[in-house]
Amino acid sequence: YNHVYGKGKWKDFDPKDLLLTYNALKVLEARYLLKDPNTLRYIETPQMMFRRVAKYLASVELKYGKSESEVKALEEKFYEIMSNLRFLPNTPTLMNSGTRLGILSACFVIPVRDSMTTPEGDGIYDALRAMALVHQQGGGTGFDFSELRPKGDVVASTAGVASGPVSFMKIFDVSTDVVKQGGKRRGANMGVMHVWHAEIEDFINSKSGKLKDVQLQNFNISVGVYDYFMEKVERGEEVPLITPRKTRIPGTDHDYYINKARNYMSEEWAQEEILNELEEKGGAVWLDESKIITVDEALVIAEKEGAIIRWINARSLFNEIVKSAWDSGDPGLLFIDEINRRHPVWYLGKINATNPCGEEPLLPWESCNLGSINLEKFVKETENGKYIDWDGLAETIKYAVRLLDNVIDANKYPLKQIEQATKSTRKVGLGVMGLARMLIKLGIPYDSVDAIYLSYQVAKFIYYHAFKTSIELAKEKGSFPVYDPLRYHDIWESARPFEYLLEVTKVEGKPSEYVRKLTAIVDKLDFSELKAERIKHGLRNATVVSVAPTGTISIIAGTSSSIEPLFALAFIRNVAVGKFMEIDSLFLEYLRKYELDNPEVVKKVAETGTVGENMFMPATIRKLFRTAHEVPPEFHLLHQAAWQQWNDSGTSKTINLRSEEPPETVERVYLMAWKLGVKGITVYRDKSKSQQVIYFGIKK
Ligand code: ADP
């Protein structure tokens, strides 16, 4: 505080800052709190930062005809949910609101056409420029590189050969290194290539083996896979590898074309007819918007046009993906069919890529701003036991979605294409953090059927209320411009039942009476009534929820990140002035309960970060405090799948594996993920990279 106020000005101290942990203050001080550019002295405290964000985002509503006093009341609400750490918007909103830098969103997808530059501004070097502008202000970018012709292919204009997508990705990577985000953080990217691309094998291996920790260090990479490919993997059949130069994506975009067919045939009976025909033909494409053909027929055309470079066994290609992912964590998979099937505004085109961490599948040029609810804050305890404060949660959701919607108007967009795409769908992504700590507070182990059930129910509740808020906002301010009440796809209609998730993962058991009672309120939600309201009043945002990793905002909120389990219960941090022991506050509470809170015990725990194998610990503690590597992969996946069912965008999750897990585990996880209907999957095997963000136990 001396930094900010100067000595002797402590009268301005705001006790709400005492809610912040030591680590939160350190992060805020290092990157978020504003400084005077001349003196480099801090000019705000954490509370002043929350106030700055609240004020700026509430002021947008003046444009919608709200009075000064109404805006002030909203500002108070926004300030309250942030300062009580019940909700935080994503990093760019916290950093840039009300400042010269204007990007407030975290997620962008930029198209890359197979040309150096185009009049529309979406050639390779146009994309590079767009990326630099976004990174400069703290956003993350995703690209589908599948439209670029493979290396060795012809280039007509120079009669030379193409250098291929992977070599272009290296340029994007170097640019990311150079453009540091105002010195605050380095940019992040997602690079996608679809599985039919002739250069797919180079792509799969571009970050592993000898290239591990060397190449494309600013990229996460994902292979875009389709249902037809996964089926061929199961059957061990051949698939073609294709150059996009001649035929764009022949025979592969099954669901996209079904959607397109729906789009062009607005009459109900015509839709039925097309869908029946597609079913009969078993996997079809819609060519030239006039004729339906099967995948096999499309391949004949591709062959005739010379677009098929060669054939490869789907299983061996899949094994290469698995081997690489086991080795280095990359590539992940994106399930392109699932992404498009459950895209509410499917009629706008096909989604081919996501933002860096996968929680936002977006159309070309779209951006999305995120914010997350701190679940741990809604666990309450009375003499009669623990309960979830559902009313408080619903109230927080209401203001959080409103705040996120205002971000779209407050944003200063770096490119007109981004502004136009973003404002036409107005996608926002409300997510969560602190799930692990919520579960601990409720006494439910993360790797239990009860925990999965709780995730499923809480996700459903949040989706319902976020959607409801978006309808209410539409009543007040109008729907998103490209909203089509009849074609909009209600994703809750295709949510898989809870029992299905257990069936796929072969996890046995039933939710207990305790967790059913805790979440009984969720069973009463009526989604069909909500749909009727949506059709009647409209909808403000094409998507409303999204589960982000909350890497830094969870530190600010002092809670566990996103829907992940705890990573370590205690660890030793070496810093310049000495060694510090850090310990999870809930874990410490439990140690106290059992009178185990002495330095010797804590030191012992800090060596490994875990207590699962520690026979001296009470069984309750060992069960409740299972950390990321102790949780079986099935339970990681189940949480992801549970949240994905009630999510109109994506769910970011890392399936953490122990270092001794074999490649077969990765294979099992990837196949199960496809069946569970998640939109993407990433694994990370402990110690598989030389540099790891968080080390287990002892930290350097
Ligand atoms: P935060 O906690 O800082 O708000 P998250 O960890 O939830 O952010 O990440 C959300 C999204 O923000 C990511 O998926 C990505 O799009 C973007 N992002 C995260 N870290 C970076 C970074 N270093 N550079 C650029 N974008 C980032």
pLDDT digits (tens, 9 = 90+) for 632-662: 999 999 999 999 999 999 999 999 999 999 9
158 and 120 within one domain: yes
Q: Which one has a higher pLDDT value, 252 or 155?
A: 155
HSE at residue 423, side-chain half, CA atoms within 13 A, is 11
Question: Dmax of the chain from CA atoms?
Answer: 81
* Domain finish residue from 23, 48, 83: 83
Which range among 206-215, 254-263, 540-549 shows the weakest confidence by mean pLDDT? Answer: 254-263
Same domain assignment for residues 197 and 288: yes
Q: Of the given ranges (32-41, 61-70, 662-671), which has the lowest mean pLDDT?
A: 32-41
pLDDT at 271 (0 to 100): 53
Q: 66 is in which domain, residue-wise?
A: 2-83
Identify the bridge partners of residue 88 per DSSP, sorted by sequence position. Answer: 372
Same domain for 190 and 59: no
CA of 106 to the centre of ligand 1 (A): 6
pLDDT computed for residue 261 by the predictor: 45
pLDDT at 699: 36
Q: Are residues 9 and 46 in the same domain?
A: yes
Specify whether 157 is located in the same domain as 242. yes
Active site residue 359: yes
Higher pLDDT, 267 or 417: 417
Q: Is 139 within the bounds of a domain?
A: yes
Between CA 700 and CA 690 the distance in angstroms is 13
537 CB burial (10 A radius; 0-12, 13-18, 19+): middle
Per-residue pLDDT tens for 263-317? 444 445 555 665 666 666 655 555 555 566 666 666 777 777 777 889 999 999 9
* Nearest residue (CA) to ligand 1, atom 21: 188
198 domain residue, yes or no:
yes
Looking at the fold, whether 275 and 156 belong to one and the same domain comes out as yes
58 with 137, same domain: the answer is no
Q: How many domains does the chain have?
A: 3
Catalytic residue among 75, 107, 147, 357: 357
pLDDT at 251: 38
CA–CA gap between residue 692 and residue 340 (Å, rounded): 33
Looking at residue 289, its pLDDT comes to 52
Taken in order 344, 122, 429, 229, the sign of the CA dihedral is positive
So what's the pLDDT on residue 695?
40
Q: What percent of the chain has pLDDT over 70?
A: 87
Residue 445 in any domain: the answer is no
Ligand 1 in contact with 551 (CB < 6 A)?
yes
Domain edge (last residue) among 83, 99, 128: 83
Return the minimum-mean-pLDDT range out of 302-306, 548-552, 594-598: 302-306
pLDDT tens per residue across span 364-406:
999 999 999 999 999 999 998 999 999 999 999 999 999 999 9
In a domain? residue 400: no
Residues 147, 219: one domain? yes
Distance between CA 395 and CA 401 in Å, rounded? 10
- Give a yes or no: residue 502 inside a domain: no
What is the pLDDT at residue 15? 85
* Chosen domain end from 296, 320, 337: 337
Do residues 194 and 188 touch, judged by C-beta distance below 8 A? no
Q: Within 13 A of 434's CA, how many CA atoms are on the CB side?
A: 24
Say if residue 349's pLDDT is above 80.
no
pLDDT of residue 37: 86
At 230 the three-state DSSP class reads helix
The CATH number covering residue 142 comes to 3.20.70.20
On whether both 214 and 137 belong to a single domain, the answer is: yes
Say what the pLDDT of residue 165 is: 96
In 3D space, the residue among 679, 678, 639 whose CA is nearest the CA of residue 656 turns out to be 639
Catalytic residue (one of 359, 366, 630, 667):
359
The whole-number average pLDDT for the span 586-594 is: 95
Q: How far does the centroid of ligand 1 lie from the alpha carbon of residue 9, in Å?
A: 35
Do both 156 and 269 map to the same domain? yes
Q: Which atom of ligand 1 is nearest to the CA of 357?
A: 14
Domain membership of residue 243 (yes or no) is yes
Does 6 reside within a domain? yes
Whether 91 lines ligand 1, by a CB cut-off of 6 Å, is yes
Cβ(552) – ligand 1 distance below 6 Å: yes
Q: What is the pLDDT of residue 316?
A: 98
Asked whether residue 45 falls in the same domain as residue 134, the answer is no
ipTM associated with this complex: 0.94
Instruction: Please check whether residues 134 and 204 belong to one and the same domain.
Output: yes
Residue 40: pLDDT band (50, 70, 90) is confident
The answer to the question of residue 657 being in a domain is no
Instruction: State the pLDDT confidence band at 247, using cuts at 50, 70 and 90.
Output: very low
Instruction: Provide the pLDDT for residue 274.
Output: 59
Residue 16 is encoded by which pair of tokens?
Answer: 């709400």
pTM over 0.90: yes
Whether ligand 1 lies within 6 angstroms of the CB of 187 is answered as yes
pLDDT per residue as tens digits for the range 174-230: 999 988 766 667 789 999 999 989 999 999 999 999 999 999 999 999 999 988 889
Measured between alpha carbons, how far is 110 from 142 in angstroms, rounded to an integer? 6
| DSSP three-state, residue 247 | coil
